[in-house]
Amino acid sequence: MSHSEKDQRAEAVVKSAILRLLGGDSIDRVEVRAVEDQGGEPGLAVTIFLHKAPSEPMPGSLLLDAIAAAATALREIDDLRFPFVTFLAPEYEAAEDTRHTA
């Protein structure tokens, strides 16, 4: 299997696992891309874009559940890369864009 085929298959199973876990109503899209961690080990950056920021703070367990769902889906296709999961909403993205640099 070529490297890009492996990435495409990983993207498909991770997106499916995240949608099963969270449902599609609150999710705008899920992006998955190959990355390396600080130690040079291969990983996957999984960004979950929400339609809007939740009215209540998201529980930390939701992030852990998303990581576990993605990791389990990857193991099922013999892909041992770690999924680095991030949640973003339009309000969060705007806040990041306006951050001042030192």
List, in order, residues 6 or more apart from 77 with CB less than 8 Å away. 9, 10, 13
DSSP state of 85: E
Residue 37 belongs to a domain = yes
pLDDT per residue over 22-46, tens digit each? Answer: 988 889 999 999 999 999 999 999 9
Name the phi and psi angles at 96, rounded to 5. -70, -35
Q: Which domain holds residue 46?
A: 3-97
Q: How many domains does the chain have?
A: 1
pLDDT of residue 57: 84
Quick check: is 42 in a domain?
yes
Q: Establish if 102 belongs to a structural domain.
A: no
Q: Please tell me the pTM assigned to this model.
A: 0.81
The CATH number of residue 49's host domain is 3.30.300.30
Residue-level pLDDT at 82: 97
